[in-house]
Each structure stands twice: as structure tokens, then as C-alpha cells.
Structure 1
Amino acid sequence: MAQDIIKKIQTFFHSPLQTGEKRKILYLYDEDEQYDEQLTEWSKETALFELLKVTDHNYFQIHYHIEKVMADKNIVLYYTIKRPNDQENPMLGVLLYSYELKLDQDSQLYAAIGIDSTNEALTDLAKQYQTFFKSKERTTKFKKFFQQMITQNQETMEFCILAVLTKAKQPDWTNSLIELFAESVKGQTMRWSAIEKFGNKDRFWRLINRLFGFNLSASKTGKLSIETLMEQLFITHLASEWPEEFPKAFEPFVLPKVNQAIIFINQWMNLRDQQLSYIQVADQLEKELGINQLFNQESLANVTEVQTFQWFDNYLIQQLASQLANGGIDYDYYDQLIAQRRGKFWYKDYRTAYHALRWSLKLVKAVDEMTSLLAKIHDKHLFWQMYQTNFYKIDQAYRKFYFYSDQLIHLNDSFEDLTLTVERHYHQLFLKEFAAKWDQLVMQEARLSRKDITQQTHFYSDEVASFVEQDKKVIVIISDGLRFEAGQELFQRLLEDKRFTGDLSSMQTALPSSTALGMAALLPHQQLAIESTGEVRVNGLSTESIVKRNEVLQKNSSDKALAISYDAVNQLSRDELRSEFSGKKVIYLYHNRIDAIGDQRITENDVFAAVEETLQQLKRLFIRLTTEVSAAQLFVTADHGFLYSRSTIQSTEKVQLITELKGTSYNKRFILSEQENPTQTGLSFSLANQISTNRHVLIPRGINRFSLAGGGYQYVHGGHLPQETMVPLLKIKMVRGRNDIPQVTVNLLSQTRTLTNSVIWLEFLQLDPVSETLKEKRLSVYFEDEIGNKLSNEQVIIADSRNELSQDRIVREKFILSTISYQQSSNYYLVMKNSKDIKDVTKERFKLDIVREIE
């Protein structure tokens, strides 16, 4: 309650009784109940009076209390109703011998809006906004905002008034300006009209001048308007991002107080609930200012840090795609450039394009490095190891490039030349050279398998049998067509989840690398044979379906074995799944997405999307199995890999069959026959040292395909290349109670803690590289004062470097401090806030010795 009202009540009741008075009665009309809470609380604390609240429905009760219950007590009659006419007032008789506490309009106003009537600065400002406070709705909203303010002064009071008039969510000038700008680009003026009608536009423009230096002389139009202010703020921010001399056409736009403009735009970008408004305003200004025409000849170096308008991301992506397509690039520079864009405002809208660029860069770089490595390999085993540790990354980069570039719509034209470059590197420079070298090494040994390369046919005896002997549950997930590079990515995704740990290795399939032989080879067997029909049998039993494989498993492990499809598991509830797996010790779970899509001509170009879908499905399956079913060990492997090229297979890469070749089973990558079929266009091998058969397999040389009807030519398997024959073997265990993988630590490297300039460059060090035991950290970094007010722009640091050298893990960021008056005796803080953990906040204390830059 305002102090003057308290004093008036106290003075009244402390005054002597008049002749004939036995007690004093004071009454007060307060229809809006502005003093309800204060009077109620005070009446409980004081013996000076009793409080009676008068409504339309308790006149009789009030009369009774006055005349009977409280006949000798001082009373305050608090009317929470509108004052009635004397003729209609049931309490008139009492009021005639009572005294009224009358409040002047100013006092009522101060009480209504919640300001101290003794604070002349606030009361003077309130008088200037009397029109604003005539509305109960505006007054209520103002009071709610003003009570939130840590500091209550003229400035914060005016911010609250602006927030109400502009319908801002927070009572600060930043949110109020955002609302005005968002309205302006829609061609509306309701909020600005409210300022003109109920606010004070002269005081508004004085505030804007104080913040940004925007006045009649600084305005490019010579007029004060929201539209001009908006344009000049955006251009000022753009100028601050420009590394060289800013285009002269925009020099008149740049505002005198640059720092505050930078901070305003940056804060707008970082307000999550206002990002849509930023996009709408920026896009509209981009068109009106003709950004695309003014900057379409700029060098790549000039736009690498620009984020004011999204056109620059479009332009940057086009330039990067063009330069990557033309070759002769600095891989590390381009990779760093793309990585830096991740912290920019528009990155989320162009993430797919940047991913495509980055994977194309990885592919081209890896292919260039492979050329020199191939010449040094003279052994099949070493080649196999090199694929498992190094060369697989090329196939992975190729897949990832197309997975992302296939999702692009409006940037398709920009990627046409880059796609040709990717195809040339992958298909011509990698696959053909890689396959030729493999052919050479295979022919030197004249045999398909080696003891020092783990064979798929030994999987059950080497990995599963020991669990069966110990009566422990083991689950084997077989994903049709999951080649090694995809398995490696699945392994990484599983390790990122704190629930899993394990190992990744590889196995070599038998030839041909087909579904029929691969599925059979993974089953328990003493004999593996291919019939004249092409059917593969295990110990004389058919394996052509899941039902048949279930019979093989149960014959080996009685009723403790189960073969089931992924689709069937998906249909089961938790209880049904537990019931289905109950008592089972060996469970083979078959997943088929990659091969199902790739083997069809009309869908083969969707195979990379199918791989991504497979990785997601398998991870979800792992989470479900480890949650709902207990197992000592989980394996993931595949029947075979695959070979895929997006470019059309040329006629020179298709091998025409000749009548002399007699085969029992045909495929675009192999022919099974009863006798050896020597030919200049293929490699012929006896299968006797792999499986129980006298048959031979003919494989086309390199990446060639046999010319056969049916199916597609781009997705194939059955051949001898590592892409087809190297399948992943993931050995995964669930770790219960395992703590989450910790994030890397980021420290401020700069030593100085006293700043003398409003533009600051600081260095940060990621202490350790990202690894299997340390994951990346994303930080929001900015300066604030002692009470938490932001004083600078906000930078995003993504600490995900895997570089071993510490100097390669240093990042340098630019901070712009607000142009306010800083106290040398006060403390200011650099805040480093973990974006994924609100409790992880580091603060470094600074002293600021900066000359004030505004009046």
C-alpha cells in the first residue's frame, strides 16, 4: 500500500475522539479492490482498527457487527462496490456519522499501477502517460510486467509501457521492437498506432536514438519510421559481418552505434519463440533491399561469416558446390568453413545441403588419398584390412552424399556439377581402380578365402556355439544387405547410447555373395551345399525361408531356438514379445529393408534412404530388446553387402553371355555352373574349398555386370568385391547402470581478465578430442552483468573435433559488448552454457575498463 494512505489511516485513528464519539469509523470506496490485499494484511497485524468488507450482499451483517459485535471498536468499512446513490444506500445512516477516506486521482493511479507515490521520477513519468493508464486492461498488464522488474526506474517503467502497447511477451525494448518490425512487414500498424495514441512517440524515438543513434540526420530517408529503422538495423548488422570494405551503396544505412545494433539482431536470432518473426522480417527485407542483385559477385571469403539474410547461405552453398565440383581445393579449409556454419542462424534450414557438401568433400579427399595407397598394397589380406579401416569410408561418404542431396529441392541445380564430380571420383577413380586392384590380388592367390580373414561360414561355431553350451540367451540380428560401412555407422550410433557397449569386426562371405548362401552360412551346420536348382541346404535341410531356418535351428538346439522376422516382432506387444522369447536361448531375428528396396528396379535408387531407415529401425529394435528381453549377447550381421552406383551402368560395363557358358543359377554378378568357365571377361573359381560342392562360380571382372533381363543394374551383389563380401559383425552388450558418456571439456584460453575494448576476440580450447569415451559439447557463450542481464552477442561453440593436436582444437570467437556505462568496481561474467544441460554453466569473472560510448 502507498505510504501516504497508511499515514492518513494512522493519523485518523490516532486523532482524539470528538465530543460524543466513543470510537471512530472510516470508510473507503475501492471498486477495483486495489487496496484489498494490503488492507487485509495490515488489519491482521494492527490493533488500531477492525476491517469490514462491504458488498452488495452483506449490508445486514455489517450493520449487526457495527452496532452489536464491534460497538466499541474502531472500524474501517472497505467498500468493494461502486458507490450507490444516497437514496439507494442502505448504509447511509452509518456513513453520516463516519468519515470518508478520499483518494486523489494521482494517488489512485499510483496504487493501481503499483508504483511508490514518493518516487518522484516514477510519478512524473506516470503523469505523462495518463492516457495509457485510463484503460484497466493496459494498467493490469503494466502492473504485472513492472512487478517482474528487478530494477524499477523510469527506463524499466517505459519498457513495460512499450511492451503492453506492442503486445510483447517480455517487458524490454528488444521484444517491443521485434513486435513492431514483425507487424510492419505484414503491412499492419496496430501496435505503432497504439504508441501514437496511448504512448509517447517522441519519447520512443529518443529511446531509439539513445540505443542506436537513429535520428533524423542518421535516417537514410530523413524521416523517423519503423520501416527505415528496421532496414538500417539489419544493414548495420550485415556491415559488421563483412571482412572487407562494405559496399558503398549501403554506407548511408549503417547506424552510428553499431554495437547495440549487433546485439539486438543477435538476441533476436537467439530468442527461440521469436525466430519465426526474424525469418519473416529478414526475408521481406532481403527482397526489398535487393540483396541477391547487390552481392551476387562477392568472393567466397567475404560471405563465410555472414548470417543476417538467408540469401547468403544459398549463395555460399552454390559457391562451395561449384568450387568443389571444379577441384583444386583446400580440403581442410573447406571442411572448417562448413563446420563453422553450424553455429549460424540459418544453418538449421540448410543443414541437409551442408551435410551433402561435407560428405562430398570427404569423398573427394578420401579418393585422392586412396590413389597413392593402392600402389603400396601387394597382399590381399592387407587390402582387406585397409578396406575395413580406411577405404570403407569412401563408400560411406558416397552413400551419405546421396542420402542428403536426394532430399534437396530448391538447390538441385547448384548440385548438378558437384554430383558429376562425385560420380567421377567414386565410379571412375575409386570403384574401377579399387576393383582392378582387388582382381589382381585375388588372381595372384587363386583362392577365395584365407585363414587370416574371418569367414562367415564359421560364425555359428566361433560366436554362437559357446553361448548355447553355457545355456545363455543370445540374439542374432541379420539385416539383409547391411554392408560393412553401414554396420560401422550403426555401431557408432549404438555406442552413443549409454546403454550399449561392444566391438565391431568383419566377416567375409562365401561366393557367391547372395542372400541364399549368406543366410545359410550363418546357421549351425556341418555341411553347406548348393543343389543343382541353386537352392542352398544346411545338413540336407532347406534354408530358403525363415520357417525353414527355424527348423534348422531347432534341430540343432531343440525347442530352445527361434527364427523370427523383424516385422513379426514389431507386431508384438511387450508381454507378447516376452512370451515369444521365453525359454528360447538362440534367437535369429531377420530384418529386410535394404535388399528389399535395392533388388527392385523401380526402387533401387532409394537404397541409400533404405539404409538410413534400417539404421534407425535397428537402433530402435536394440533399445526395445534390451528393455523388454534379457540376453547375454546380441549380434548384428548380414548375409551379404552390395555394390551400388547412382550413374547409369554403361554398355561397356555389361558382359554379354555366350552360349558356351552353362550355368544353373544366374545373377548380374555371378553364374553358378557345374564346370569351370574360363573367360576373358570374368574370374572363375571352384567352390569346393568353401562349401560342399563341385560347382564353380564365374564373377565378372571389376565392377562389371552380366547382361541379364530383370532387376536393376545399379544395385547388385553376388560378386567378390569387399563391398559385397565384407559384412559387419557387431557384438553388443547392454550395460546396466552405466553413466552417460561424458562430454569434452572446453576452457577459455585467453588469460586477460580486464577488457578495455567493446570488441573482443577470445580463444577457447577443447581439452581432448571426441572419442568413444568423450562426446561433443555445444555451448552458448556470452557476457552478462552481476544480475544476469546479457551485455553482448551470443556465440555458439560446437566442440566436436577429433584432432589429436591441441592447436587444432582451438576456436576463436568475436564478442561485441553493449555500449553502456560500465563500472570498474563491478564484476562482469563470460557465461559458457551447455545447450544440452542447463546445470552445466561456467562463468569467468571479468573487469571492464571501457570508456562510455553513448551520451
Structure 2
Amino acid sequence: RLPQQRDFYKNHVKKSDTRVAVIISDALRYEVGSEIKEKLLKEANTKEITLTGMLTSLPSITSLGMASLLPFSETLSFDISEKKVTLKGIDSRSTENRESILRLEEKESSATTFDIFKNMYRNEQEEYIKGKKVIYIYHDTIDAIGDKGKTESKTFEAAETAVSDIVGMGKLLSSLGVVNIYITSDHGFLYERKEIEEHDKLELKNSYSILGKRYALSSERYEEKGCITLDLGGYYGVFPEKNQRIKSLGSGLQFVHGGISPQEMIVPLIKYRGGTNSTKSRKVNVKLKESIGKITSNISKFGVYQLDPISIGDKVVERDVAIALYTLNGVKVSTEEKIRLNAIEENKLYNFRLTLSGTHEKVLLKVIDLDSGDILDSKEYEVNLSIASEFDF
């Protein structure tokens, strides 16, 4: 018997005696989760990794699935007219509100989106997780593509992107010192590459509070041909017995979810514990691009090389740097360029422009590590704004 999705927090997060990060990817089907596990085994330094399944609530939709992964899911309240789920009186549909719900159970909790966390600088990521016991990160690639009629044909590509995204996030969290990482989803999906034919569409004869492509909800019990009616506690759900779609308003019939098929209801649960090696990871090395040692314009072009490729096997990790012009006494006198050096090829060149302010005879171009504050490379320039040069732009 599969464990229930609504017991996830109680059985895994609450019982952990160390910090926990949970990556929740919308519409991550079990088979895609299996690919993530295999890729982590090949690419990441894993101490332990397991894949099991969990059974969603019904209907297998985002609002219920996301709420079920939070604390207090046993007492959730589902409003079938709005597909709204409240926990402890809080609407659980936004990331901000989910963080509030998490903090009711564990004060040192946070919730954010995949894009926001990924695009932070390394020092910001470290600061974000500092002191946290529970971190929820929400990812939405598959559902964002598949749930729209215009883009649902790109579901396979979205699944590939999701695998890459989540494996990368797992490795990133591990490099930040998070030991216990869970990867799971709110629901799965059904997908047909070909157009859905008319005989695979069901037209229901009764009126429903909510009519989806794979489910219908009502406060009254109705029976429909080719469907199963289930008592869901306070309301009734009607679900196609097979993989047919229900006729309803809106486009998109190839990518669907909400029904009772295993592909929709069984979600992956990956438990990933990052391993440790005797070899400590190091950041990529950097070097300023060679250039004429003169500045002849307020706006000048410079370059910096990332000498090493990012490599999990060689334990070479990304580096965040800030680059600006300074007086010889250490006063910043230009705009500042922040760059994340995370290329997978060696000798990657990053070009940028800086705007110099004030009047100076000489300045120093400095590359500074954002985490440590160390000066990684520097070069002195003479300033003569009266000379024009073809190398300035």
C-alpha cells in the first residue's frame, strides 16, 4: 500500500533532526522522478538516494496536492467552488501563504520559487538558508508548459528541462551544506501526443460545481456513464474509468490531470542525502582579459576569463564576483558588474562595461569574490579621457 501524500510532512519533514529542503515540482510524474534519481546517482556525490511513491488526494490537482505537502494537511478545508484549500484558515495557493503555514509548525521555515533561489548570488543563497530548519522550493516547468493548449505539445521537452533543473538544484543545495533533500510533486499527468479523438471525449449529463478535463465535483451524488463516482468527504467526485477526457470549456486535451489513473495519482518521493569526499571542492579560477593599460572614455569595455569548467567530478564549483574600478587608495569610482561564473567550458570570456566617474590619473580594476571579499585579480590603468581609442567600445 502506498503512503498518502498528506502524511509527507508528518512522516518525513517533522521527524528529521537536521535541516530539510523540499523541492516540489508541479506535475512531476513518477517516471520523470525516476530519471532524476538516476541522473543524481551518475552526476552527484550521493551518500544515500531512494525513490518511493506517494498517493495524491482526489482530484489530483495542484491546489490539493500542494496543500497536502504542508503541515496540517489532515485538517485541510477544500472549497469546491473556487478550488481553494485553506490550512489553519490560510489560503494555501500562494508561495507567501505556504511559508506562513510552514512557520506555524516550525518557526525557522521558508518557502520560495526555483527561479528566485537559483538566480540569487551564492552569498545570498547562503544567507537565505542560514538558520533555517525547513526550506520549500517550488518548481514549475512541466505544468506551466503542459497546462496550456498552445504549448502542451512541448510536454516532453518540458520534462527534460525539469530533470536538468532539479538535478542542478539538488547538487546546489548539497554544496550549500543541506544534507536532507526531498524531491516530490503535487500530482502527475496523462499525455497523448496525437489529437484526442471524439470517441475519447465524455459528455456529462449533470451540472457540476467544477468541471475539469479529468474530473467533475459536486455537492450532489451523480452517476455518469463510463465514470466512477467517489465520496470525497463533503463532496462527490466523478472520474472517467479509463483515459478519456471530459468535455468542458477551454483548450488543451492532450496534457491533463485530476483523474484517478496511476500516472496522475502516484507522485515520486526522492530522498537525497549528499555525500562527502576527502577532497574539498574549490571555486573556479579567474583572470582579467589582457588589454591596453589606458582608459580613454568614461564608458570602457573589459573582460574576465573563467579559467576552469564547472565539474562535479573534479569538485570545481561556480564563483560569484564583483568587478569595479577603484582609486589606488581603495575607493570605488565606477559602476559595479556582478557576474556568476558557472560555465561548463574552460576559458569562458565574460565581457562587460564600466562607467567611470570623477577625475583620476590612475585607477585599479579589481575582481572581488562576493563570498569572501578576496581580490582575485587586479590591473592598473592610466586615465586620459582626452584621447579617443577604438578599443573603448
Q: 173, 177, 189: which is aligned to 1:625?
A: 173
For residues 119 and 149 of structure 2, the distance between their equivalents in structure 1, rounded to whole angstroms, comes to 29
Tell whether the 8 Å contact from 1:683 to 1:699 is kept in structure 2 after alignment: yes
For residues 543 and 646 of structure 1, the distance between their equivalents in structure 2, rounded to whole angstroms, comes to 33
Q: 27, 30, 36: which is aligned to 1:490?
A: 36
> Which structure 2 residues correspond to residues 630-649 of structure 1 after superposition, within 5 A?
630-649=177-196
State the partner residue of 1:481.
Answer: 27
> Which structure 2 residues correspond to residues 661-680 of structure 1 after superposition, within 5 A?
661-680=206-225
- 1:549 maps onto 2:98 in alignment: yes
Q: 149, 152, 156: which is aligned to 1:604?
A: 152
State the partner residue of 2:53.
Answer: 506
Shift of 1:497: 2.4
Shift of 1:636: 0.2
State the partner residue of 1:701.
Answer: 241
State the partner residue of 2:142.
Answer: 594
Tell whether the 8 Å contact from 2:184 to 2:269 is kept in structure 1 after alignment: yes
Question: Structure 1 residues 656, 485: CA separation in 2 closer, same or farther (over 3 Å shift)?
Answer: same
Question: Structure 1 residues 646, 460: CA separation in 2 closer, same or farther (over 3 Å shift)?
Answer: same
RMSD: 1.3
Deviation string, structure 1 residues 28-51 (Cα, Å, up to 9, x no partner): xxxxxxxxxxxxxxxxxxxxxxxx
Shift of 1:582: 1.2
Shift of 1:698: 0.7
Higher helix proportion? 1
State the partner residue of 1:731.
Answer: 271
Tell whether the 8 Å contact from 1:599 to 1:711 is kept in structure 2 after alignment: no
Question: Structure 1 residues 523, 654: CA separation in 2 closer, same or farther (over 3 Å shift)?
Answer: same
Tell whether the 8 Å contact from 1:499 to 1:735 is kept in structure 2 after alignment: yes
> Which structure 2 residues correspond to residues 107-146 of structure 1 after superposition, within 5 A?
none
Shift of 1:663: 2.0
Unpaired runs of 5+ in structure 2? 280-393
Residue type of the alignment partner of 1:663? Y
- 1:572 maps onto 2:112 in alignment: no
- 1:516 maps onto 2:63 in alignment: yes
Shift of 1:710: 1.0
For residues 669 and 738 of structure 1, the distance between their equivalents in structure 2, rounded to whole angstroms, comes to 52
Question: Structure 1 residues 633, 482: CA separation in 2 closer, same or farther (over 3 Å shift)?
Answer: same
Tell whether the 8 Å contact from 1:498 to 1:738 is kept in structure 2 after alignment: no
For residues 61 and 40 of structure 2, the distance between their equivalents in structure 1, rounded to whole angstroms, comes to 27
Q: 527, 538, 544: which is aligned to 2:87?
A: 538
Shift of 1:556: 1.4
3-state DSSP of counterpart to 1:563: strand
- 1:722 maps onto 2:262 in alignment: yes
- 1:466 maps onto 2:6 in alignment: no
Relative contact order: is structure 1 or structure 2 higher (C-alpha 8 Å, sep ≥ 6)?
A: 2
For residues 177 and 190 of structure 2, the distance between their equivalents in structure 1, rounded to whole angstroms, comes to 36
Shift of 1:726: 0.7
Residue type of the alignment partner of 2:20? V
Shift of 1:498: 4.7
For residues 636 and 673 of structure 1, the distance between their equivalents in structure 2, rounded to whole angstroms, comes to 33
Question: Structure 1 residues 711, 551: CA separation in 2 closer, same or farther (over 3 Å shift)?
Answer: farther
Tell whether the 8 Å contact from 1:484 to 1:727 is kept in structure 2 after alignment: yes
Number of residues of Structure 1 aligned to a counterpart in Structure 2: 276
Deviation string, structure 1 residues 566-590 (Cα, Å, up to 9, x no partner): 0111220000011111111101100
Tell whether the 8 Å contact from 1:483 to 1:641 is kept in structure 2 after alignment: yes
For residues 738 and 495 of structure 1, the distance between their equivalents in structure 2, rounded to whole angstroms, comes to 19
State the partner residue of 2:317.
Answer: none
For residues 44 and 257 of structure 2, the distance between their equivalents in structure 1, rounded to whole angstroms, comes to 35
Tell whether the 8 Å contact from 1:499 to 1:738 is kept in structure 2 after alignment: no
Residue type of the alignment partner of 2:112? I
Residue type of the alignment partner of 2:174? T
Runs of 4+ in 1 over 3 A off after TM superposition: none
Question: Structure 1 residues 668, 738: CA separation in 2 closer, same or farther (over 3 Å shift)?
Answer: farther
Residue type of the alignment partner of 2:40? L
Shift of 1:711: 2.9
3-state DSSP of counterpart to 1:635: strand
For residues 705 and 532 of structure 1, the distance between their equivalents in structure 2, rounded to whole angstroms, comes to 20
Shift of 1:532: 4.0
Shift of 1:738: 7.5
Deviation string, structure 1 residues 586-630 (Cα, Å, up to 9, x no partner): 011000000000000010010100000110111111121111x22
State the partner residue of 1:583.
Answer: 131
State the partner residue of 2:349.
Answer: none
Residue type of the alignment partner of 1:541? I
Shift of 1:701: 2.1
3-state DSSP of counterpart to 2:14: helix
Residue type of the alignment partner of 2:42? E
Residue type of the alignment partner of 1:539? K
3-state DSSP of counterpart to 1:490: helix
Unpaired runs of 5+ in structure 1? 1-451, 689-693, 740-855
For residues 80 and 172 of structure 2, the distance between their equivalents in structure 1, rounded to whole angstroms, comes to 42
Residue type of the alignment partner of 1:722? P
For residues 88 and 165 of structure 2, the distance between their equivalents in structure 1, rounded to whole angstroms, comes to 33
For residues 460 and 662 of structure 1, the distance between their equivalents in structure 2, rounded to whole angstroms, comes to 36
For residues 665 and 498 of structure 1, the distance between their equivalents in structure 2, rounded to whole angstroms, comes to 43
**TM norm structure 2:** 0.68
**TM norm structure 1:** 0.32
Tell whether the 8 Å contact from 2:44 to 2:171 is kept in structure 1 after alignment: no
Residue type of the alignment partner of 2:69? L
Tell whether the 8 Å contact from 1:456 to 1:508 is kept in structure 2 after alignment: yes
Question: Structure 1 residues 738, 671: CA separation in 2 closer, same or farther (over 3 Å shift)?
Answer: farther
State the partner residue of 2:227.
Answer: 682
Higher strand proportion? 2
State the partner residue of 2:2.
Answer: 453
Question: Structure 1 residues 738, 528: CA separation in 2 closer, same or farther (over 3 Å shift)?
Answer: farther
Larger radius of gyration: 1
Residue type of the alignment partner of 1:543? S
Deviation string, structure 1 residues 64-120 (Cα, Å, up to 9, x no partner): xxxxxxxxxxxxxxxxxxxxxxxxxxxxxxxxxxxxxxxxxxxxxxxxxxxxxxxxx
Deviation string, structure 1 residues 666-713 (Cα, Å, up to 9, x no partner): 21001111121111221110112xxxxx11111122001111121300
For residues 597 and 458 of structure 1, the distance between their equivalents in structure 2, rounded to whole angstroms, comes to 29
Shift of 1:564: 0.4
For residues 193 and 4 of structure 2, the distance between their equivalents in structure 1, rounded to whole angstroms, comes to 30
